[in-house]
Chains A and B, each alone.
Chain A
Amino acid sequence: MEEKIVVIGTSAGGLSALQILLPGLPSEFPCPLVLVQHRGKEAGSGLCDFLQRSSRLPVEEPEDKEPIAPGRVYLAPRDYHLLIEERHFALSTAAPVSYARPSIDVLFESAADAYGKQVIGVILTGKNRDGARGLATIKQHGGLTVIEEPATAQSREMPEAALAATDVDRVLPLAGIASFLTSLFEAAAR
């Protein structure tokens, strides 16, 4: 795969973190961004609409086998794992992984399988260890790994677990993550 893909995982504190990260992305952001926010399985949380208010990019929950398009934010639907295959999404109702469905590890590991070194993995605030293994897999496949600085994260456990699991490429304050992601593509365009 030549195209890049950004995958982001977050849990407790994620909603406020995303309200800071998403507005920082320009409307011409040239890459798909796929998001797992741990959430309850009850219907009607309106999470998609909530995030859309902070984002210039369209936010949607993908359907099974939906093609992955650049410049969009894809939110893992409640009570499904979201997996990435070549150029499209796949869903699964397999057992929760570390009590989570959607699981960050499942998304990240499938992204590493399908997109290899083109994956940019980001772990934000959260109170558990989901995503640590997935971020390590991204790193093993030559992708770029980023975490929110644990000291300033609302809950530091998740970025810390990721830091312990792999040699993370960038540790950034929340406010710097959107501009860092944007700069990756500006550098590529020049």
Chain B
Amino acid sequence: MKALEAEVNQLEDIEVQLLLEGVFRHYGFDFRNYAPASIKRRIRECMRDERAETVSGFQERVLHDPACLERLLYKLSVNVTSMFRDPSFFQSFRTRVVPLLRTYPFLRIWHAGCSTGEEVYSMAILLQEEDLYQRCRIYATDMSKEVLRKAREGIFPLASMQEYTANYQQAGGKRFFSDYYTAQYDSVIFSPALRANLVFSEHNLVTDGSFNEFHVILCRNVMIYFNKTLQERVHNLIYESLHMFGVFGLGNKETLRFTPRESFYEELDQRDRLYRKVR
């Protein structure tokens, strides 16, 4: 009985690999180097929603029905985040990074893997309060059309605003958080002025290359879904896309340690994982 269970488990691993191989060869989305534990979990969740019994059965639908693929992509790319997640990160950004940014006449910022955009709007607010927004362009990218559509709208649930307001205040916010949005029914929409310099576009960190040079790149809690091989690729891509002395921000449980690019950066803030490219 126990041997049987182990075999079932191994078979499922094979099926997952076949599904990911099929998705890559047919559609070009490459999840083959995603961290296995999370991706298996998400595939299983997606299978439950689609009422698929086996990964092989699910694979047939994904390969023959592009709408089913879109639902899988959506599932794989939504990371539930919040505005000003880890307020101390934004606080450090204000104190350590903003003074560096004041020296440039024009700024390009890249939010890689922006999901539904909560952190993009947070950064837009911060930059506006620091009088830098008008000389910024923020490029926010994700691989999923669906999350980008949501991010572009700038509409978030009203129920989240209490938490976001607390985060905003802890992050050193200078105004009333409610100045930035208009509530309607159970949603809020962020002010069009915040969206003026945001550019949302499709970009896949796994398969696409560098598309510009940036003064700041934020890629927080995105690479945690990748295995080490893929993390290395993305670290190289980010390094190549940063200006000399450009700033790179990671999630607070991510690190540059043990990556081949470690020695190319200096730490601006250890706790808040802010780095500066120095060679």
Chain A interface (Cβ within 8 Å of chain B)? 43, 61-65, 77, 79-80, 83-85, 90-96, 106, 109-110, 113-114, 116-117, 140-142
Contacts and interface: CB of A to CB of B under 8 A. Distances in A.
Interface string B30-42: 0000011110111
B254 to A, nearest CB: 5
B5 A96 contact: no
B6 interface: yes
A85 B35 contact: yes
Given A90-B224, A113-B37, A142 B2 contact: yes
Interface of B: 2, 5-6, 9, 35-38, 40-42, 78-81, 85-88, 221, 223-225, 228, 231, 251, 253-255, 258
B86 A110 contact: no
A61 B41 CA distance: 22
18 contacts: A43-B87, A61-B253, A62-B253, A64-B253, A64-B254, A65-B258, A77-B253, A85-B36, A90-B224, A92-B79, A93-B81, A93-B251, A94-B38, A94-B42, A94-B79, A94-B80, A95-B78, A95-B80
Contacts of B81: 93
B253 A91 contact: yes
A90 B5 contact: no
State the 6 A-B residue pairs at the shortest beta-carbon distance, nearest first: A83-B37, A142-B2, A110-B37, A64-B224, A95-B80, A91-B224
Nearest to B85: A79
Nearest to B80: A95
